[in-house]
Structure 1
Amino acid sequence: MKLKGTLAAVTIAVMATAANAQETIRLQGATIAPPDNVWAKVGDRFAEAVEKRTDGRVDMNMSYSGSLGNAGETIEALKFGSVDFVIQEVSQLDVYDELAGLGAYPYLIRDADHFKQIFGDAGVGQEFYDELEKRTGYKLIGAGFRGSREMASRREVKTPEDLSGLKMRVPNQVTYRRTWETLGASPVPMPSLEVYTSLQQGIIDGAENPLEAHLRSKYYEAVPYVILTHHVNPYYTFIFSADTFNGLPEDVQKVLQEEGEAAMDWATEEILGSIDGYRKTLEENGATIVEPDREAFRAKLEPMKDMYPEDLQEWIERFQNVGK
Structure 2
Amino acid sequence: MSRFLKVAGMTMLFGMVAFGANGKVYKLKMGLVANNSSNEYKAAEHFANNLKEKTNGQILLELYPGSQLGDDRTMIEQLSAGVLDFGFAEIGRFNIFFPEAQVYSLPYVIKDFNHMQKATSDTEIGKSLKNKIDKNLNITILSQAYNGTRQTTSNRAINSLEDMKGMKLRVPKAEANLEYAKNTGASPTPMAFSEVYLALQTNAVDGQENPLSAIRAQKFYEVQSYLAMTNHILNDQVYLVSNETLKKLPADLKKIVEDEAAVAANYHTQLFVNEEAEVINFFKTQGVTVTTPDLTKFSAAMQPFYDVYVKKNGSVGKKALEEITSIK
Name the TM-score class by shorter chain: 0.7 to 0.9
Cα separation, 1, equivalents of 2:294 and 2:159: 6
TM-score, normalised via structure 1 length = 0.81
Instruction: Go from structure 1 to structure 2 and tell me whether the alpha carbon gap of 1:43 and 1:149 turns closer, same or farther (over 3 Å shift).
Output: same
Contact 2:117 2:144 in 1 (8 A): no
| SS state at 2:151 partner | strand
1:68-119 CA-partner distances (Å, limit 9, x unpaired): 4444444444456664322342333332232332332212221244345446
Cα separation, 1, equivalents of 2:230 and 2:282: 18
Structure 1 counterpart of 2:318: 313
Contact 1:94 1:174 in 2 (8 A): no
Structure 2 counterpart of 1:48: 49
| Aligned Cα root-mean-square deviation (Å) | 3.0
TM-score, normalised via structure 2 length = 0.80
- How far apart are 1:58 and its partner, in Å? 1.4
| SS state at 1:56 partner | coil
- How far apart are 1:46 and its partner, in Å? 0.9
Letter aligned with residue 314 of structure 1: K
Q: Does 1:207 align with 2:212?
A: no
Identical aligned pairs, as a percentage? 26
Cα separation, 1, equivalents of 2:134 and 2:191: 27
1:183-215 CA-partner distances (Å, limit 9, x unpaired): 222323334333323323434332211111111
Cα separation, 2, equivalents of 1:245 and 1:190: 38
Contact 2:123 2:323 in 1 (8 A): no
Q: Does 1:25 align with 2:31?
A: no
Count of paired positions: 306
Instruction: Go from structure 1 to structure 2 and tell me whether the alpha carbon gap of 1:249 and 1:98 turns closer, same or farther (over 3 Å shift).
Output: farther
| SS state at 1:230 partner | coil
Contact 1:199 1:206 in 2 (8 A): yes
Instruction: Go from structure 1 to structure 2 and tell me whether the alpha carbon gap of 1:314 and 1:202 turns closer, same or farther (over 3 Å shift).
Output: same
Q: Does 1:322 align with 2:327?
A: yes
- How far apart are 1:61 and its partner, in Å? 0.9
> Mapping of 1:38-117 within 5 angstroms?
38-79=39-80, 83-117=84-118
Gaps of 5+ in 1: 1-17
Gaps of 5+ in 2: 1-17
Contact 1:169 1:190 in 2 (8 A): yes
Letter aligned with residue 54 of structure 1: T
Q: Does 1:287 align with 2:288?
A: yes
Structure 2 counterpart of 1:193: 194
Structure 1 counterpart of 2:140: 139
Instruction: Go from structure 1 to structure 2 and tell me whether the alpha carbon gap of 1:22 and 1:115 turns closer, same or farther (over 3 Å shift).
Output: same
